[in-house]
Amino acid sequence: MIKHKEQRVGVLVDVSNMYHSAKNLYKRKVNFREILKDAVADRKLIRATAYVVKTETEEETTFFEAISQQGFEVKMKDLQIFAGGAKKADWDVGISVDAIKLAEKLDVLVLVTGDGDYVPLVNYLQNTKGCLIEVMAFHQTASSKLIEEADDFTDLSGNKKYLLR
């Protein structure tokens, strides 16, 4: 896919999805600074948002500060714990709503997630908003349908720069 510097880009990061993928695959953390740099690829960045889930650890506070210093707007939601002990915290609807609202101002939307739940969003943005959709994720944990539907896919697995020591 041709990337030219006049393209207006939005980057939406499903932090939980990326965090758990990197942890499970490599026992490492994600280098969100490098991901943002490559997602933008010298184009016009309109908005970069990282969607995070807040539990009660101190460690994550430092992480949320670090990610905001790297150029992301951080949107936070609390982890829900249900009576039976089940935990739920996903941003699928929030990310989708933001993507649809942003689409009018963008040429390219970069989704940093491997979650196949975004396939209908990708189709909608491509077919009704005319957006190009790029996906960045770890191939092993990414939905094959999401990869197939995206206009471009960057496999984060192939490059150690996307991981922190």
Q: How far, in Å, are 15, 104, 141, 146 from residue 77 at the CA level?
A: 12, 25, 23, 25
Q: Where are the domains of the chain?
A: 8-164
d(CA 61, CA 55): 10
**Mean pLDDT for the chain?**
92
Predicted TM-score of the model (pTM): 0.93
CA angle at 29 for the pair 119 and 14, rounded to the nearest 5°: 25
- Lookup result for tokens 């995206």: 150
Q: Which helix (H) or strand (E) holds 113?
A: none
Mean per-residue pLDDT for 2-6?
A: 88
Quickly name the fold that domain 8-164 has: Rossmann fold (3.40.50)
DSSP state of 53: E
Helix (H, G, I), strand (E, B) or coil at 61: helix
Q: Which of 35-39, 141-145, 148-152, 161-165 has the lowest mean pLDDT?
A: 161-165
Q: Which of 66-80, 98-112, 136-150 has the lowest mean pLDDT?
A: 66-80
DSSP state of 1: -
State the pLDDT at residue 34: 96
Q: Which helix (H) or strand (E) holds 131?
A: none
